[in-house]
A and B are shown apart, each in its own frame.
Chain A
Amino acid sequence: MKTLKRLAFISSLVMLLVAGCTKDFEEINTDPNRSVVVETGYLLTYSEKVLMDWLRDEWFGGRVNQLLAQHWSQRNYSDEDRYLFRTAVNNSAWSIFYRTMMNLQRIIDLNSNESTRVQASSSGPNDHQIAVATILQVWIMSIMTDSWGDVPYSEALNPSILQPKYDKQEDVYALMIQKLIDANSKIDLTLPAPNLTKGDLIYNGNMEKWKKFGNTLRLRIALRAYHKVPAYLNDVLTLPASSFFESNADNAIIEYLPDSPNQGPVYIAFFVSARNDFTITKTLTEILAGRNDTLNVGKNNPFAGVVDPRIDVWSYPNEDGTGPYLGQYVGMPYGMEDTYTKAFAKHCPDYTVHPSVVHEPDFGYTYMDYAEYCFIMSEVNGWNQAWYEAGIRASMEFWGVATADIDAYIAAVPAANEENVMTQKYLAFYMQPEQAWFEYRRKGYPLMLLNPGEISHRQLVEGVMTDIMFNQLEGEGIPRRLQYPIEESGVNPTGYEGAIANQGADLLTTRVWWDKP
Chain B
Amino acid sequence: MKRLCVFLALIAFVGVNFLHAQTVQITGTVTSAEDGMPIPGASVQVKGTTIGTSTDADGKYSLGVPQTATTLIFSFVGIATTEVEIAGRTVIDVVLESEFVTLEEIVVTALGISREKKALGYSIQEVQGDDIKQVGQTNVLNSLTGKIAGVQITGSSGNTGGSANIIIRGIASVTGNNSPLFIVDGVAIDNSSYHSADAARGAGGVDFGNMAQDINPDDVESISVLKGAAASALYGSRALNGVVLITTKKGKGQKGLGVTFNSGVTFENVAYSPAHQKVYGGGSIASGATSLDGFATAEINGTIYRIPDFALDESWGPKYDPNLLVLAWNSFDEWDTKNYLVPKPWVYPDNNHLSMFDTGISYTNSVAVVGGNEMGDFRLSYTNMSIDGYTPNNNITRNAVNFNGTGKFSKYLEAFTTFNYVRTWGKGRPEHGYGDHNPVMRMNQWGQNQLDYKEMSEYKNPDGTQRTWNRTSWSNPTPVYSDNPYWSYFENYPEDLRNRVYGNIGFTLNLFSWLKFRTRINMDHYNFNAETRVAVGSQAESGYTINQRVRTEMNYEGMFLVDRNITDDITLNAMLGANRMEYGYSRTGGYTQGGLLLSNWYHLSNSVVTAVPYYYLENKRVNSTFGSLTLGYRSMVYVDATFRTDWTSALGEGNNQYSYPSITTSFIFSELGALKGNNILSFGKVRLNYAEVGGDTDPYRTAIAYNSNSNFGSNPNYSLPETLNNPTLRPERSYSYEAGIELMFLQNRIGLDFTYYNTETEDQIIDVATSATTGYTRQLINAGLVVNKGFEVLLSGTPLKNWNGLTWDITLNYAKNDNMIVELAPDVETYRLTSLFGAEIHAEEGQKYGTIRAFDFVYDDKGNRIIQAGGTNTGRYLNGPMTSLGSYLPDWNAGIVNTFSYKGVDMMVQVDMQKGGKAFSLTHMWGTYSGILERTAETNENGMNIRDDVASGGGVLNTGVYGRLDSDGNVVYTDAEGNDVANPIANTTYIGAETWAADHYSRARGPQNIFATDYIKLREIRIGYTIPSKFTGPVSNVKLSAFGRNLAIWGRADGVDWDPEYVHTAGNIQGIEGGALPSLRTFGLNLSLNF
The chain A residues found within 8 Å of chain B, CB to CB, are: 4-5, 7-9, 11-12, 14-16, 18-22, 24-26, 28-39, 41-43, 45-47, 49-50, 79, 84, 86-88, 94-99, 101-103, 105-106, 151-152, 156-159, 161-164, 198-199, 201, 257, 259-262, 271-272, 274, 276, 321-324, 337-339, 342-343, 346, 353, 460-463, 469, 471, 473, 486-488, 490-495
A487 to B872, CA, bound (A): 34
A158 touches B715 (CB 8 A): no
Contacts of B286 in A (CB 8 A): 343
Contact A158–B872 (Cβ < 8 Å) = no
* Chain A hits for B594, CB < 8 A: 259-261
Minimal beta-carbon separation of A85 from chain B (angstroms): 11
Quick one: which of B16, B615, B712 contacts A49, CB cutoff 8 A?
Answer: B712
Neighbouring B residues of A16 by C-beta, 8 Å: 578, 625
Task: Give, as a whole number of angstroms, the nearest-CB distance from B650 to chain A.
Answer: 6
**3 closest pairs, A vs B, by CB?**
A260-B594, A102-B775, A15-B578
Does B879 have its Cβ within 8 Å of any Cβ on chain A?
yes
**In the assembled complex, which residues on chain B have CB atoms less than 8 Å from the CB atom of A106?**
720
Q: Kindly state the separation between the CA atoms of A21 and B718 in the bound complex, as whole angstroms.
A: 36
Task: Tell me the bound Cα distance from A26 to B649 in angstroms.
Answer: 7
- When chains A and B are docked, how far (Å) is the Cα of A24 from the Cα of B580? 13
- The distance from the CB of A104 to the nearest CB of chain B, in whole angstroms, is 10
Question: Known: A26-B653, A36-B704, A272-B541. Is A261-B609 also a contact (CB below 8 A)?
Answer: yes
Q: Is B128 an interface residue (CB 8 A)?
A: no
Q: Which of B576, B615, B712, B828 contacts A491 (CB 8 A)?
A: B828
Chain A contacts for B882, CB-based, 8 A: 87, 486
Asked if B705 contacts A45 (CB within 8 A), the reply is: no
Starting from the known contacts A42-B718, A323-B290, A338-B998, 12 additional A-B residue pairs (CB-CB under 8 Å) come to A15-B578, A26-B653, A29-B699, A31-B703, A36-B704, A86-B838, A98-B774, A157-B774, A198-B715, A261-B710, A471-B871, A492-B771
B288 at the interface (CB under 8 A from A): yes
Pick the contact of A487: B560, B709, B832, B1001 (CB < 8 A). B832
The A/B interface has a contact count, at CB < 8 Å, of: 277
Is B577 touching A15 in the complex (CB atoms < 8 A)? Answer: yes
The CB with the most chain A CB atoms within 10 A, among B287, B704, B774, B871, is that of B774
Contact B593 A42, beta carbon cutoff 8 Å:
no
Alpha-carbon separation in the docked complex, A233 to B289 (Å): 57
Cβ contacts under 8 Å, A79 to chain B: 1001-1002
Q: When chains A and B are docked, how far (Å) is the Cα of A4 from the Cα of B992?
A: 87
Query: Does B311 contact A346, Cβ atoms closer than 8 Å?
Result: yes
User: In the bound complex, do residue B709 and residue A46 qualify as a contact, i.e. CB atoms below 8 Å apart?
Assistant: yes
A33–B616 contact, CB under 8 A?
yes
Task: Name which residue of chain A comes closest to B592, CB basis.
Answer: A260
Taking a contact as CB atoms under 8 Å apart, the answer to whether B284 and A342 are in contact is yes
Nearest-neighbour CB distance to chain A for B11, whole angstroms, equals: 12
Q: Does B805 belong to the interface (CB within 8 Å)?
A: no
B-chain residues with CB within 8 Å of residue A201 when the two chains form the complex: 712, 715
B828 touches A43 (CB 8 A): no
Which A residue's beta carbon lies closest to that of B612? A261
Taking CB atoms, residues of chain A closer than 8 Å to B716 are 39, 41-42, 45, 199
A16-B625, A262-B713, A346-B311 in contact; A152/B773 too (CB < 8 A)?
A: yes
A32–B709 alpha-carbon span in the complex (Å): 16
Task: Contacts A33-B615, A46-B719, A339-B995 given; indicate if A492 touches B773 (C-beta within 8 A).
Answer: yes
Q: Is B722 an interface residue (CB 8 A)?
A: yes
What residues of chain A lie closer than 8 Å to B835, measured between beta carbons? 87-88
Q: Are B720 and A99 in contact (CB under 8 A)?
A: yes
Residue of B nearest to A507 (CB): B967
B578 touches A159 (CB 8 A): no
Is B708 located at the chain interface by the 8 A CB criterion? yes
5 A-B pairs with CB atoms under 8 Å apart are A14-B558, A18-B580, A103-B720, A156-B775, A159-B770
Does any Cβ of A come within 8 Å of B617's Cβ?
yes
**Known contacts A152-B773, A471-B873; is A337 also within 8 Å of B720 by CB?**
no
Q: Decide yes or no: A11 and B718 within 8 Å by CB, A19-B647, A84-B1002, A471-B871 being known contacts.
A: no
Chain B nearest CB, measured from A330 CB (Å): 14
Q: Which chain B residues in 543-595 approach chain A with CB under 8 Å?
A: 556, 558, 560, 576-580, 593-595
Does B902 make an interface contact (CB < 8 A)? no
Given contacts A25-B621, A28-B620, A494-B827, whether A8 and B775 have CB atoms under 8 Å apart is no
A18-B623, A31-B700, A491-B828 known; A199 and B771 CB under 8 Å? no
The interface bits of chain B over 12-24 (1 if a CB of A lies within 8 angstroms of the residue's CB, else 0) are 1100100000000
A84 to chain B, nearest CB (A): 7
Residues of A within 8 A of B616 (CB): 33
Query: Are the C-beta atoms of A29 and B608 separated by less than 8 Å?
Result: no
**In the assembled complex, B210 has its CB within 8 A of some CB on chain A:** no
Residue of A8, A50, A98, A257 touching B719 (CB-CB under 8 A): A50
Instruction: Give min CB distance, B8 to chain A, whole Å.
Output: 10
* Contact among A14, A29, A471 with B650 in the assembled complex (CB-CB below 8 Å): A29
Most buried by A among B706, B722, B1001: B706
Task: Output the nearest chain A residue to B830 by Cβ-Cβ distance.
Answer: A490
When distances are taken between beta carbons in the complex, the residues of chain A under 8 Å from B623 are 18-22
Known A33-B616, A99-B720, A487-B769; judge A262-B712 contact (CB<8 A): yes
Asked if B1008 is at the interface (CB within 8 A of a chain A CB), the reply is no
Give 1 or 0 for each of B980-1007: 1 = CB within 8 Å of chain A CB.
0000000000001011001001100000
Q: Using CB atoms, name the residue of chain A closest to B837.
A: A86
- Taking CB atoms, residues of chain A closer than 8 Å to B838 are 86-87
Interface positions of B from 13 to 60, Cβ below 8 Å from A = 13, 16
Interface string of B153-178 (1 = CB under 8 A from A): 00000000000000000000000000
Q: Known: A7-B509, A42-B717, A261-B594. Contact between A321 and B290, CB under 8 A?
A: yes
Instruction: Report whether A98 and B710 are in contact in the complex, using a CB–CB cutoff of 8 Å.
Output: no
Given A25-B621, A36-B706, A84-B879, verify A156-B773 contact (CB < 8 Å).
yes
Max count, chain B CB within 10 A of own CB: residue among A88, A272, A490: A490
Q: How far is the CA of A228 from the CA of B1063 in the complex (A)?
A: 57
Q: Does B375 contact A (CB under 8 A)?
A: no
Q: How far is the CA of A152 from the CA of B772 in the complex (A)?
A: 10
Closest chain A residue to B844, Cβ basis: A490
